[in-house]
Amino acid sequence: MAVELDIPCDVQGRDREGRLWAFLDEAAHPEAIIPGRHVVTGDEADPVVARVLDIVEGPGGTRVTMELIGDAVELWQALTRARVVAV
Amino acid sequence: MTVDPLPDPASLVPIEDQFWTDYGLVPSEATVAVRGAPITGPKFLAHALRQARVYSLRGTNMASISTDLILPFWPLERVLEGQLATYSRYATCSVASLVAGGFEVLATGAPPHADVILPVLGIVEAERLATLFAPNEDANPYKDRRR
């Protein structure tokens, strides 16, 4: 099953404060991009989970800043191990 | 993903304000740049386009790829375990090869980050840059170790 990111970003290209950032117009699920919510971002090869911090209008478009939570598969493994989600 | 036209560079963040060395010069002891995978032209182009929507360089939209430099106090292992902790694979390229290929390298953001500048924002230059990194692609052992 193909990965469908909520919003893609370059995890290596963080801002000066170490935050992830992306453009809202690239979001596959723009309705999920809400400050405080968790989203799947990065790229399809190595998706990560991040928390949306802020959404700001800028000259280049609507920019979303996010705090990296961790590797998506590693988080899924932790949740299944703790039986928070079923396998 | 297309943005046409790109925003007025005068309205963007000058990358010159985010150099961590004088003039953004790469420290002489930094000989290698590291980039997380996928190492492909289309992926590099997507990254470069985002950069060009946010940052300016010398008054023009800055089309660039984020990398991290290997430094004496910041060895490859530290980058793989830190900045690239969520990447399964990565690739390296010497700074000399990048410069010889016509790609300017600037020390930007916070150490050891560096931007590799595309001379022109387009798939041809993005593919050419990917070709420089691709031969030295490898698995990131620090990611598998955590799983």
Q: What is the pLDDT of residues B43-83, one digit of tens each?
A: 999 999 999 999 999 999 999 999 999 999 999 999 999 99
Its pTM stands at: 0.94
Q: pLDDT tens-digit profile of B32-45?
A: 999 999 999 999 99
Tell if the CB–CB gap between B46 and A8 is shorter than 8 Å: yes
Please answer yes or no on whether A12 and B53 come within 8 Å at the CB atom.
Answer: no
Query: For the CA atoms of B12, B17, B23, B24, what is the dihedral angle to 10 degrees?
Result: -80
Measured CA to CA in angstroms, residue B131 lies from A44, B41, B127 at distances of 21, 8, 6
Cβ pair A72, A48 in contact under 8 A:
yes
Amino acid (one-letter) located at B23:
Y
- Which pLDDT score is estimated for B144? 65
Residue contact A59–B8, C-beta within 8 A: yes
Chain B nearest-CA distance from A28, in A, is 12
Q: How far is B72 from chain A (nearest CA, A)?
A: 20
- Which residues on B lie below 8 Å from A46 (Cβ)? 36-37, 86-88, 143
Strand-pair partners of B107: B114
Name the more confident of A67 and A73. Answer: A67
pLDDT tens figures, A10-54: 999 999 899 999 999 999 989 999 999 999 999 999 999 999 999
What is the structure's pLDDT at B147?
Answer: 58
Res. B1: pLDDT tops 60: no
The yes/no answer to whether this complex scores an ipTM above 0.90 is yes
User: Minimal Cα–Cα distance from A19 to chain B, Å?
Assistant: 11
At residue A40, the 3 state secondary structure works out as: strand
Residue type, B64: S
Closest listed residue to residue A40, CA positions, set A53, A56, A52: A52
Whether residues B85 and A71 touch (CB distance < 8 A) is answered with yes
Q: Is the pLDDT score of B146 beyond 70? A: no
B87 lies within 8 A of chain A by CB: yes
Nearest to B146 among A21, A68, A74 (CB): A74
C-alpha dihedral sign at B102, B107, B112, B117: negative
The counts of H helices and E strands in chain A are 1, 4
Cβ pair A71:B86 closer than 8 A: yes
Residues of B in contact with A48 (CB under 8 A): 86
User: CB-based burial of residue B12 (10 Å sphere; 0-12 exposed, 13-18 middle, 19+ buried)?
Assistant: buried
The predicted structure's pLDDT at residue B72? 95
Beta carbons of A45 and B37 less than 8 Å apart: yes
Average pLDDT rounded to a whole number, residues B1-24? 90
Give residue B4's pLDDT band: very low, low, confident or very high (50, 70, 90). low
